[in-house]
Structure 1
Amino acid sequence: MHISLLQPVIDRPGPWASVYADVSHGTEDTAKQQELTASATTAQLFALGADEATCGAVHEALLTRRGDPGTHAGRALFAAHGAIVLDTPLPGPPAVPFAAWGPVPRVTPLLAAIGDDPVCLVVRLDRTGADFAVVGERGGGAERGDARAAGERSERHIRTAADHTVEQNAEEIADAVRKEFESSGAEVVVLVGAAHERRLVHGKLPEPLRALTYESEHGGRAPGAERDLVERDIAQVRAAQESDHIAQVADRFRAGTGPGGKHAKPHSAAGLPALVEAAREHRIDTLLVSPHGADSARQVWVGSDVDQLAVHGMELPNLGELRPAAARADDALVRSAAAHGADIVVVHDPERAPAGGLGAILR
């Protein structure tokens, strides 16, 4: 999972207001519904101990951001010290809207909602060039420019024989796809365009990239061509990529080894004491989280620094924190892991999830 979304809330000290709100707008009294939601949420936060400035910031944020009529949407807000630090849409309304107040932000429900969010490079191509868009990592679809193939880069290629021009163009487009794939951080590619051009480009990609490249049988280079069908194909490819990634991570965790294979030194960790120790020592490479695991909701102790994390509150003074606070284990471990560049994978399938709901592959 790409955790850049969490960066604004990771190193900033709390306490934190975390809000998961239903901001659906399906009726004529939208403004009244917004006011009721904002008032109820801030009243709940105030009852939990949130300061007046932070409650006011949340109230204003819930009132000022309006979606399109008829939409069914959700939002996650994180606020501290009177300011909204992160305000991000959810794929849909939260199953159970709630507000929380605590020493670390309640980010695990956000990660569970958005999923692995694999980055997909979408290439709309024809014999003259290709247009690139990156979908994923909470970025939606963003145009990244246009790579013109031989026909438009140099008129001499247009004048060559038709077969030669198509081959040359396919090679140039394939090379542009490779470069864009590497620079964009994408994990998978979808080619959109006429079947002949798609297959030519696909066949000229380097083998490792070819294995990560899929073709949509719908649409063309024009962005609006069969848009719904193309978006469906992209969503299916991304879902398959996410499922494969989660399965691979779960298998690595269960095997107790990393990418080095079966002869590598075992380095999986499970159980809160082992996980907390690994987090403090910055040894977590990949944190596995199951939202409904028993250990996920257990209490650990934290300080203002991400490395001040302990199973027992009496340990925190030795780590420099004289006023330890209780926090959920999943959120505390996510905060620590994200701060030190670890990957975080949410495993919804209980058959694949670690026992207790939390586990780690170690560095």
Structure 2
Amino acid sequence: MDLAFLSPLYEHPGSWASAYVGLSRHDEDLRTRRRPAAEAVARRLRERGADEATCRAVHDAAAALERGSEPYGRALFAHDGEVVLQVSLTRAPPWGLVRWGTLPHVTPLLDLAGEDPVSLVAYIDRAGAEFELRSAVLREEAGQVRVGRQWPMHRARASDWSERRFRLEAEDTWEHNAREVAEALAGCQAETGADLLILCGGERECRSVRERLPGHLRDRAVRAAHGVGSRLLPREVEEVRARHVRERILAEVDRYRSARTPGEERRAAAVEGVPSLIEAARGHRLAELLILPDGPDTRREVWIGEDPARLAERRTELSDLGERHAWPARADDALVRAAVVTDAPVLSLAPVREETGREVPAGGMVALLRRR
């Protein structure tokens, strides 16, 4: 997950409020529940020592969600009486996820708002295709293509010469049409930036279109198992999207495990454990950070300075590094800050835990390293 959008959270030192406010569109008493939720969030922040101006800002932002359209809720990050950033969630957060600390608590975003690939669904038939954009919070039409050659479209079954010629012409027509659909689909992907292409239609039609996509899109295209002749259900789209995310993360974990083996320079390209991760962050060597949001190492206390690369296990270490100020912080929040300011992506290890036979690193935090 690219967390560059979190950069504003690291421009102002000081204490931060982090509140994950959930909304359920299925509750009959939705309106009556949201205001108590806003009040409960503000109350929890006060109990944790937040200043009144920041509590009020978070309360007002949470109450304003009553007029919003998000199905799951938002993460609110506030500092010094101002909500600096709001992030729409793609999953409902657990109740009471509120923090007050030196750094914004952003790790839950990895599971609640991260890895939400925008999918471009193509409903394909012999006459063209209709396109639709889908994500956890989005569903909108994205255009259509009607191909120019629409006759003959269906193959004859008999085997005499004239009907055989008709069959060949029908196949030639569809091959031409499949090329037009593929070109239109590739153009729509370029325009929308969709991460995943879902092809819905007959097996032969979908295969023909996929084969004619540019090489860099072919691996992103998958055929839906259902939905031929009808619109895909949200559940079917979600299954395809979830499988895509899981496979991507599992591939990154396999890459991490391979990188742990020292190379020709007798130096591993991956590390795990808080001490090694801190050392990598100090040297600006984090290439990719992988975190299990509820892993045991995430809650460990570390010490940070104003410079995101200045972090240590003990406060005295920061003094040795020349830092005049030091504050305690959660290890996951400190390492995510270091990753964000150096443009290193961060992924959740939660899908790995769900896979049979795959073990999550004991501490729950690992990293791939940049080359020196």
1:233 aligns with 2:236: yes
**Mind listing any 5+ residue stretches in structure 2 that lack a counterpart?**
153-168
CA distance in 2, matches of 1:209, 1:27: 40
- Specify whether residues 184 and 277 from structure 1 end up closer, same or farther in structure 2 by C-alpha distance, changes over 3 A only: farther
Following TM superposition, by how much is the alpha carbon of 1:299 offset from its aligned partner in structure 2, in angstroms?
Answer: 0.6
Tell me which amino acid in the other structure corresponds to 2:258: A
- Specify whether residues 146 and 362 from structure 1 end up closer, same or farther in structure 2 by C-alpha distance, changes over 3 A only: same
Partner of 2:66, secondary structure, is coil
- Specify whether residues 319 and 32 from structure 1 end up closer, same or farther in structure 2 by C-alpha distance, changes over 3 A only: farther
CA distance in 1, matches of 2:183, 2:175: 12
Match of 2:297 in 1: 295
- Specify whether residues 18 and 68 from structure 1 end up closer, same or farther in structure 2 by C-alpha distance, changes over 3 A only: closer
Match of 1:197 in 2: 205
Match of 2:182 in 1: 174
Contact 1:26 1:72 in 2 (8 A): no
- Specify whether residues 236 and 36 from structure 1 end up closer, same or farther in structure 2 by C-alpha distance, changes over 3 A only: closer
Comparing 233-242 with 11-20, greater Cα deviation is found at: 11-20
Following TM superposition, by how much is the alpha carbon of 1:235 offset from its aligned partner in structure 2, in angstroms?
Answer: 1.5
CA distance in 2, matches of 1:28, 1:86: 29
Per-residue Cα deviation, 1:62-109 (whole angstroms, up to 9, x for no partner): 21212799x984432111122222223434443342321112111111
Tell me which amino acid in the other structure corresponds to 2:254: D
Contact 1:175 1:205 in 2 (8 A): yes
Match of 2:104 in 1: 105
| Matching of residues 1-363 of structure 1 within 5 Å | 1-24=1-24, 30-66=30-66, 73-136=72-135, 140-141=138-139, 143=141, 145-146=142-143, 148=145, 150-151=147-148, 163-181=171-189, 184-206=192-214, 209-219=217-227, 225-228=230-233, 231-256=234-259, 266-317=268-319, 321-348=323-350, 349-350=352-353, 351-363=358-370
Aligned residues: 348
Contact 2:92 2:112 in 1 (8 A): no
After superposition, the CA RMSD in angstroms is 3.4
**Mind listing any 5+ residue stretches in structure 1 that lack a counterpart?**
152-156
Tell me which amino acid in the other structure corresponds to 2:52: E
CA distance in 1, matches of 2:7, 2:129: 33
Contact 2:18 2:100 in 1 (8 A): yes
Match of 1:154 in 2: none
CA distance in 1, matches of 2:303, 2:81: 24
Following TM superposition, by how much is the alpha carbon of 1:284 offset from its aligned partner in structure 2, in angstroms?
Answer: 1.1
CA distance in 1, matches of 2:307, 2:131: 41
Partner of 1:65, secondary structure, is helix
CA distance in 1, matches of 2:231, 2:120: 18
CA distance in 1, matches of 2:202, 2:77: 45
CA distance in 1, matches of 2:339, 2:15: 19
Tell me which amino acid in the other structure corresponds to 1:64: A
Contact 2:121 2:131 in 1 (8 A): yes
Contact 1:25 1:67 in 2 (8 A): no
Contact 1:42 1:55 in 2 (8 A): yes
Identity %: 38
Contact 2:124 2:200 in 1 (8 A): yes
TM-score by length of 1: 0.81
Following TM superposition, by how much is the alpha carbon of 1:338 offset from its aligned partner in structure 2, in angstroms?
Answer: 2.1
Tell me which amino acid in the other structure corresponds to 2:208: L
CA distance in 2, matches of 1:19, 1:250: 30
